[in-house]
A and B are shown apart, each in its own frame.
Chain A
């Protein structure tokens, strides 16, 4: 492949050379000629410099006219993990000055990969990061301050507040809301009907879930009322913590310190313990490290399960015979509900060569990109876009997701991995000891002690 200088540059060379010739032909005659010759040399030198610098300027312009390529890292997102690729393709299609190059990193390795790449100076320009890890990166100073983009955004009041809260560190924004998720309750309408329950009415309280689960389990065979992954920390912060939040309790305090001994946590753990001892949950749940997660619901033999927006498209497409409903995860009383606000924030890595272009990308991703994502359908982080584009795609189910986004919470901590995500950490140990062994207050106390120790060490 040969490179051809842009026409403008070739034109420039010709023009400048003819200008130089023009000057030299205007001077003739005797002694004057020597002076003129000297002058010619000076003029030639000056002109050459001028010509060179002028052409170099144009060359630079020509080079800068080539699109800037931004590197962008993301974990797999959406139903089949490739939604972000579609969004990047859309960005590249609609932009000529900036192009984005996507790299998908497996979720389990994401934080380590980004962190080690950042440490070695090979970090991407932009990253979409699970919002629970955003405080960790912000605290470490790995992200650019994007407060100015946040403040300039016309739609900042429309952003999911949980995402905004996680993006903030010491009153500055280090990332912006990008993609959303929410945990909700799925129920099998056929099983509800067979169990003598109203198939169109979701349980309104934890007590009603327990009662419905018992009736469904009573149908016999291998039909069970409820399912959760008993050995999966992340699954249970997503689908179990909302039962605590719905009552007004919390898992962590506002400063990120552990709050595992709240009475709301006791009530929620007792609820799951009752589900377990009543035999409404398959025994296999105890050892499920998340490999099954909500999949048992797809067999049609599980009455209820907690899952997220990502579960809906596949359920409709691949299991058309399974009649299901989606409802908020309730609390102890009617009217109480909550959800885990999941998804990603988007951030610019410190040290990027293209901060201006990266900011442009962020502005697009949080504006037009949101509409594009909503059409896929991925729950957007913008409430206005969710209402206008996402909800109409499935008004019944997606309205519930929208409502979940409104009440969604996410624990703010710079020690998420060790406090919550760790399979042997305090969160899951509290959960498993309380539910499978039955010592609820003992489990809460032990985990609180373990969590405080970790919190103090990592603070």
Chain B
């Protein structure tokens, strides 16, 4: 009887969260699934088209190109995000007078909105008025009158640089928290055994924060596969579509071509792909455990 009461109480506690998830996650997901099987124009009659949007997607070479570009971006952005985040976490893991300052300093880019950060970098890189080309000019790197964002691979690298600046501190916080959770005695023992810093990191720290590492990778990869804002603002997908990502293409289908049915089908496909990638990653982490 006591257990049942406890279960009932628990149910009432989680009910608001369940309602929230139902309203803002499950129902929209079902709506997108239904939309993906219709032509769903922004205006006009909605018609059921079955799996037409999905078969169209299979033959859509432009969409395929954006998938490749998104994967390239993900592969390129994930390592620097991780290593910069890890480096910063190692620098500030121990609490002292300086670390508080650096923690705040490193974490500051996180509090800036993604859109604002992208705009900030768009103008920082402007060859006419931006500080970065001006700095490079002053350092003798030439006229720097070509817009970095107007050429490949400059455009892609500039976006990666901005994302690393903006997000590595988020990874830093996660990794730092995990590192602080390691029993100090383990570290002290290793030091007594003569382990140098590098070996401590390789054989003690990283294995002990493996779960957090996994989470950091999942977040990083999922976030990169869903990249949109930074490219929309900084490169508009250019030059000539070479930095257009999957989600950017979905946005174009929805809000440029007003073809919400196709956009919904692509969104469903991307969601399933992301789910699979995340499942594989989680499984990989668990197996290693």
Chain A interface (Cβ < 8 Å from any Cβ of B):
111-112, 115-116, 118-119, 136-137, 139-142, 230-231, 282-284, 286-287, 289, 291, 296, 415, 417-418, 421-425, 429, 432-433, 436-437, 454, 457-458
Chain A contacts for B235, CB-based, 8 A: 287
A-B contact pairs, 22 of them (CB 8 A): A111-B42, A111-B258, A115-B42, A136-B43, A136-B258, A230-B150, A282-B128, A283-B145, A283-B150, A284-B127, A284-B145, A286-B146, A421-B256, A422-B256, A423-B237, A424-B236, A424-B237, A424-B252, A429-B240, A432-B238, A432-B240, A454-B257
Is the CB of B239 closer than 8 A to any CB of chain A? yes
Whose C-beta in chain A lies nearest to the C-beta of B262? A457
B-chain residues with CB within 8 Å of residue A433 when the two chains form the complex:
240
Name the residue in A139, A424, A436 with the highest tally of chain B Cβ atoms < 10 Å from its Cβ: A424
Q: A284-B128, A417-B258, A425-B256 are in contact. Are A141 and B237 (CB under 8 A)?
A: no
Q: Once the chains are docked, how many angstroms separate the CA of A104 from the CA of B44? A: 24
Residues of A within 8 A of B252 (CB): 422, 424
Interchain CB contact (< 8 A) of A424 among B42, B147, B241: B241
* B238 and A423 within 8 A (CB): yes
For A415, list chain B residues within 8 Å (CB): 257
Q: Which of A116, A286, A421, A425 contacts B42 (CB under 8 A)?
A: A116
Complex: chain A residue closest to B154, CB-CB: A287
With a 10 A CB-CB cut-off, give which of B151, B237, B257 has the most chain A CB atoms: B257
B121-146: contact bitstring with A at CB < 8 Å (1 yes, 0 no)? 01000111000000000000000011
User: Is A417 a contact of B236 with CB atoms below 8 Å?
Assistant: no
The contact of A283 among B41, B127, B248, B255, by CB within 8 Å, is B127
State whether the Cβ of B149 lies closer than 8 Å to any Cβ in chain A: yes
What is the minimal beta-carbon distance from B143 to any residue of chain A, in angstroms?
A: 9
Measured between beta carbons, the chain B residues less than 8 angstroms from A425 are: 256
Chain B residues, Cβ within 8 Å of A139: 44
- B interface residues, tally (CB under 8 Å): 29
Q: What residues of A have a CB within 8 angstroms of the CB of B150 in the complex?
A: 230-231, 283, 286-287, 436
User: Whole-angstrom distance between the alpha carbons of A111 and B43 in the complex?
Assistant: 10
| A-B contacts besides A111-B258, A231-B239, A287-B238, 11 pairs, CB < 8 Å | A115-B258, A140-B44, A283-B150, A286-B150, A286-B239, A291-B122, A422-B256, A423-B238, A424-B238, A424-B244, A425-B256
- Nearest chain A CB to B257 CB, angstrom units: 4
Distance A141 CA – B146 CA, assembled complex (angstroms):
47
What's the nearest-Cβ distance from chain A to residue B289, in Å? 44
Closest to A453 in B: B62
Residue from B44, B150, B235, B252 with most neighbouring chain A CB atoms (10 Å): B150
Smallest CB separation, A275 vs chain B (Å): 16
**B contact set with A: CB distance below 8 Å:** 41-44, 122, 126-128, 145-147, 149-151, 235-241, 244, 248, 252, 255-259
Q: Which of B44, B122, B126, B240 has the most CB of A within 10 A?
A: B240
Chain A hits for B151, CB < 8 A? 286
Closest 9 CB pairs of A and B: A140-B43, A287-B150, A286-B150, A287-B147, A418-B257, A422-B256, A283-B145, A115-B42, A423-B236
- Asked whether, in the complex, the Cβ of B42 is within 8 Å of the Cβ of A112, the reply is yes
Residues of A within 8 A of B147 (CB): 283-284, 286-287
Min Cβ gap B207→A in Å is: 45
B100 CB, min distance to chain A CBs, angstroms? 38
Do A283 and B256 form a contact, CB below 8 Å, given A112-B42, A433-B240? Answer: no
B119's closest neighbor in chain A, by CB? A291
B128 to chain A, nearest CB (A): 5
From known contacts A115-B42, A140-B44, infer whether A429 and B256 are also in contact, taking CB-CB under 8 Å.
no
CA distance A240 to B174 in the complex (A): 51
Whether B44 lies near A141 (C-beta < 8 A) is: yes
Question: Which residues on A sit within 8 Å (CB–CB) of B43?
Answer: 115, 118-119, 136-137, 140-142
B145 and A417 form a contact (CB under 8 A): no
Contacts of A417 in B (CB 8 A): 256-258
Of the candidates B235, B258, B259, the one having the most CB atoms from chain A within 10 angstroms of its own CB is B258
Q: Which residues of A contact B127 (CB under 8 A)?
A: 282-284
| Residue among B127, B238, B244, B252 with most chain A CB within 10 A | B238
Q: A282-B145, A287-B150 are in contact. Are A458 and B128 (CB under 8 A)?
A: no
CB-CB < 8 A to B122: which residues of A? 291
Across-interface contacts of A230 in B (CB, < 8 A): 150
Complex interface: chain B residues within 8 A of A454 (CB): 257
One of A112, A142, A437 near B255 (C-beta < 8 A)? A112
Min distance, Cβ A332 to any Cβ of chain B, angstroms: 27
Residue of A nearest to B155 (CB): A287
Residue of A nearest to B253 (CB): A418
Complex CA distance for A425 and B44, rounded to whole angstroms: 23
Min C-beta distance of A436 to chain B, whole Å: 7
- A311 CB → nearest B CB, Å: 19
A273 CA to B258 CA, complexed, in Å: 32
Q: Which B residues are CB-close (under 8 A) to A141? A: 43-44
Closest A residue, CB atoms, query B232: A423
- In the complex, which residue of chain B has the Cβ closest to the Cβ of A301? B128
Residues of chain B lying within 8 A (CB to CB) of residue A283: 127, 145-147, 150
Cα A442 to Cα B194 with chains together (Å): 67
Question: Is the pair B42, A432 in contact by a Cβ cutoff of 8 Å?
Answer: no
Task: Assess the B44–A422 pair: CB atoms within 8 A.
Answer: no
Residue of B nearest to A421 (CB): B256
CB-defined contacts of A421 to chain B, threshold 8 Å: 256
Contact A458 B255 (CB under 8 A): no
Closest to B129 in A: A284
The distance in angstroms between the C-alpha atoms of A437 and B239, with both chains bound, is 10
- Shortest B258–chain A CB gap in Å is 7
Question: Would you give the shortest CB distance from A276 to chain B, in whole angstroms?
Answer: 12
Query: B149 touching A287 by the CB < 8 A rule?
Result: yes
Q: Is the CB of A436 within 8 A of B128?
A: no
Contacts of A289 in B (CB 8 A): 236
On whether the beta carbons of B256 and A231 are closer than 8 Å, the reply is no
Q: Which residues of B contact A231 (CB under 8 A)?
A: 150, 236, 238-239
**What residue of chain A has the Cβ atom nearest to residue B56's Cβ?**
A457
A282 CB contacts on chain B under 8 angstroms: 127-128, 145
Q: Is the CB of A432 within 8 A of B126?
A: no
Chain B residues closer than 8 Å to A291, beta-carbon distance = 122
Min CB gap A19→B, angstroms: 56
Measured CB to CB, the nearest residue on chain A to B148 is A287
Report how far A112 CA is from B237 CA in the complex, Å. Answer: 21
Cα distance A112–B147 when bound, in Å? 32
Residue of A nearest to B130 (CB): A284
- Taken together as a complex, chains A and B put the C-alpha atoms of A63 and B139 apart, in Å, by 75
Cβ distance B229 to chain A, nearest Cβ, rounded Å: 14
CA distance A111 to B256 in the complex (A): 10
